[in-house]
């Protein structure tokens, strides 16, 4: 019973909002120090994907069946793969749009193939 109450104390909304503010603050710091020129309008879509992915990862599992713990575990596994995928695609978009390590959409698209293969392997191991 205590474990179920601890899951309720984690609120994905504020955590996702905090992650967004951390990334925006980091981008502003990089922009003002001259390390990297960041266009904040281009960061909105990646940040939305990352925040939805974080929220999905942190949301409690769906309880199904008689055994509540088994249902919670099943729901969490299902949501973690989708959450990881959204975070990875958001990070790829952000890296491509801000040209981290010289990456652009034209040079970084193989990462999507790698991410797809990684997600297939993770799903196969469940």
CA distance 26 to 87: 17
Q: Please report, rounded to a whole number, the percentage of residues in the chain having pLDDT higher than 90.
A: 6
Identify the pLDDT of residue 67: 47
What average pLDDT score do residues 17-43 get? 78
User: Environment class of residue 126 by beta-carbon count within 10 Å: exposed (0-12), middle (13-18) or buried (19+)?
Assistant: exposed
Domain residue ranges of the chain, discontinuous segments joined by +: 2-125
| Residue among 18, 41, 20 at smallest CA distance from 98 | 41
Q: What is the mean pLDDT of the chain?
A: 75
Distances (CA, A) of 55 to 7, 48, 111: 13, 10, 23
* Ramachandran area for residue 103 (φ above 0: left; ψ -120 to 50: alpha; else beta): beta
pTM of this structure:
0.61
- 48: which 2 tokens? 């939305």
Tell me the per-residue pLDDT of 61-116, one tens digit each, with 9 for 90 and over: 554 444 455 544 454 445 577 888 889 999 999 888 888 888 888 898 898 899 88
């Amino acid at each position: 019973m205590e474990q179920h109450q601890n899951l309720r104390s984690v609120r994905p909304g504020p955590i996702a909002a905090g992650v967004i503010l951390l990334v925006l603050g980091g981008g502003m710091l990089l922009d003002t120090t001259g390390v990297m020129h960041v266009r904040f309008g281009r960061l909105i879509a990646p940040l939305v994907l990352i925040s939805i992915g974080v929220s999905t990862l942190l949301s409690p599992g769906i309880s199904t069946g008689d055994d509540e713990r088994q249902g919670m575990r099943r729901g969490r596994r299902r949501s973690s793969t989708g959450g990881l995928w959204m975070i990875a695609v958001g990070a790829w978009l952000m890296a491509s749009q801000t040209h981290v390590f010289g990456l652009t959409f034209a040079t970084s698209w193989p990462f999507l193939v790698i991410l797809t293969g990684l997600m297939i392997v993770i799903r196969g191991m469940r």
